[in-house]
Amino acid sequence: MQFDVHGASIGFVSTYPPTVCGLATYTASLLDAVASDRGSRSGLGVVGLETGSAGSESRDVMFHHRVGSAASLEMATRVLNTYDTVSLQHEFGIFDGDDGDEVLDLVAGLTSPTAVTFHTLLQHPTRHQRMIIDRLAAHAARMMVMSETGARRLTDRHGIDPERIEVIPHGADALFAGPSLVTGDRPLVLTWGLIGPGKGLEWAIEAFAGLTGMDPQPRYLIAGATHPLIREAAGESYRQELVSLVHRLGLDDMVEFDDRYLSRQALALMVRRADLVVLPYASVEQVTSGVLVEAIAAAKPVIATRFPHAVELLSGGAGITVPHGDPAALSAALRSLLADRRLTSRMARVAGRLADGWYWPTIGRRFDAMMAGIAEPYRCTPPIPAMSRVAG
């Protein structure tokens, strides 16, 4: 295997924009960071996972894998084996089959050294989910997670040697790191991201019902489009339920909705205008949260439910955690922070220090070095030229 001046070539496997999901956004940001550091997109390509009729038109996508198609899977494997290395982004359900177990057929055909990035690691996986993780781990040259909690779950639940695990934090766009843009008399509390059941937004709305007597009265902005899969299955029913709850509680002057899917620039400006960020997620399993990372990168105090990534990142003073499903506890936390500017200023300073080293240029360099490391033992193998874009 031979390296050009830009390093080992990398074939990414993931959903990819214009698909709207956190995994697609993450992979695009990571590829951009590596390309920017190298000064070239040469040797970087994506096998995009597609479930619909139309795939991404991005120049980065070399092949569209139609999940569930054996012929498409065979071609996806051939494309990936033309790269020096493969970066597989794993999330249960993005491939076909039970818990997305089609991914095992893909890795079985890979000959290029592969790094698997685990976006979800469950505390209590089913037997089938455990089998998928164990088989991916057996194939992987390296396993990557974005939190220490994720690393512990690989070692404790799956018996993985810690030396085979790389912890590289979720990246943040430098746009979030600009100066605070807080204005106005009424403090702004923000939750953003794709909307759907499991986000715990009803708990947050109920929490604000306990703040109506505050002066000045805070504003709560829920920003984000409904998740495309949720919208396809149930339309806007969840958002309508939230709007009805706001009306029923008499919070129309306090709670606002913005259902746009914003550009990164517009989103960063919105976050920088907020006084506080609330993440009331229902999940008790989440070991990676890009929204949490971006909130901390923007030096915003965070109130979050006690999902694992929040407990890990906020324990040093960048925010506070509250029990799941407890609007009263969330309301008390909001009142405490909104009434104490010295406390929130201290949290903002802690957040700013914590985020140092999380920005995409640094994350891209760390990831690229990891991929070069797994390719190193194969340097003497005759290279296969990376494949040009293939029609799906």
User: Among residues 157, 106, 156, which one has the least CA distance to residue 136?
Assistant: 106
pLDDT band at 104, cuts 50/70/90?
very high
Answer for the pair 254, 220: CB distance below 8 angstroms, yes or no: yes
- Same domain, yes or no: 285 and 318: yes
What are the residue ranges of helices labelled H in the chain?
Answer: 22-38, 70-80, 102-108, 127-139, 148-158, 201-208, 228-234, 237-248, 264-272, 290-297, 308-314, 327-338, 341-354, 360-375
Nearest alpha-carbon partner for 337 in 189, 182, 185: 189
On whether both 28 and 162 belong to a single domain, the answer is yes
Whether 216 is in a domain gets the answer yes
Cross-strand pairs, 225? none
Q: What is the pLDDT of residue 3?
A: 45
Q: Please state the rounded mean pLDDT for residues 184-194.
A: 93
Asked if the structure places residue 25 within a domain, the reply is: yes
Question: At 56, is the pLDDT very low, low, confident or very high (cuts 50, 70, 90)?
Answer: low
Do both 155 and 282 map to the same domain? no
**Alpha carbons 283 and 278: distance in angstroms, whole number:** 14
Alpha-carbon span 325 to 330, nearest angstrom: 9
Q: Are residues 26 and 125 in the same domain?
A: yes
Scored b (16 or more CB within 10 A) or e, 283-298 reads bebbbbbbbbbbbbbb
In this structure, the answer to whether residues 147 and 260 fall within a common structural domain is no
- Which run of H or E residues covers position 276? strand 276-279
Of the listed ranges 50-54, 171-175, 181-185, the one predicted with least confidence? 50-54
Number of domains into which the chain is organized: 2
**CATH number of the domain that 81 lies in?**
3.40.50.2000
Beta carbons of 220 and 256 less than 8 angstroms apart: yes
248 inside domain: yes
Contact 181, 273 (CB under 8 A): yes
pLDDT digits (tens, 9 = 90+) for 231-288: 888 999 999 999 999 999 999 999 999 999 888 999 999 999 999 999 999 999 999 9
Q: Residues of the chain with pLDDT > 70: what percent?
A: 93
Residue 388 lies in a domain: no
**Mean pLDDT in the chain?**
92
Domain assignment present for residue 245? The answer is: yes
Residues 206 and 327 in one domain: yes
Q: How far apart are CA 311 and CA 322, in angstroms?
A: 10
pLDDT at 179 over 80: yes
Residue 4 lies in a domain: no
Identify whether 3 is part of a domain: no
Least confident of 107-116, 166-175, 258-267: 258-267
Instruction: Say whether both 46 and 139 belong to one domain.
Output: yes
In this predicted structure, what is the pLDDT of residue 232? Answer: 86
**Residue 194 sits in the same domain as residue 326:** yes
How many C-beta neighbours within 10 Å does residue 339 have?
11
| Residues 191 and 332 reside in one and the same domain | yes
Residue 297 and residue 344 share a domain:
yes
pLDDT at 1 over 50: no
Report the pLDDT value the prediction gives residue 192, as an integer from 0 to 100: 96
Shared-domain flag, residues 215 and 308: yes
Confidence class of residue 380 from pLDDT cuts 50, 70 and 90? low
318 domain residue, yes or no: yes
Rounded average pLDDT over 200-224: 96
For the cut 60, the answer to whether the pLDDT of residue 349 exceeds it is yes
Q: What residue numbers bound the domain in which 107 lies?
A: 10-171+359-378
- Statement to judge: residues 207 and 103 lie in one domain: no
Compute and round to an integer the Cα radius of gyration of the chain: 22
CA neighbor of 175 nearest in space, from 77, 302, 64, 271 = 271
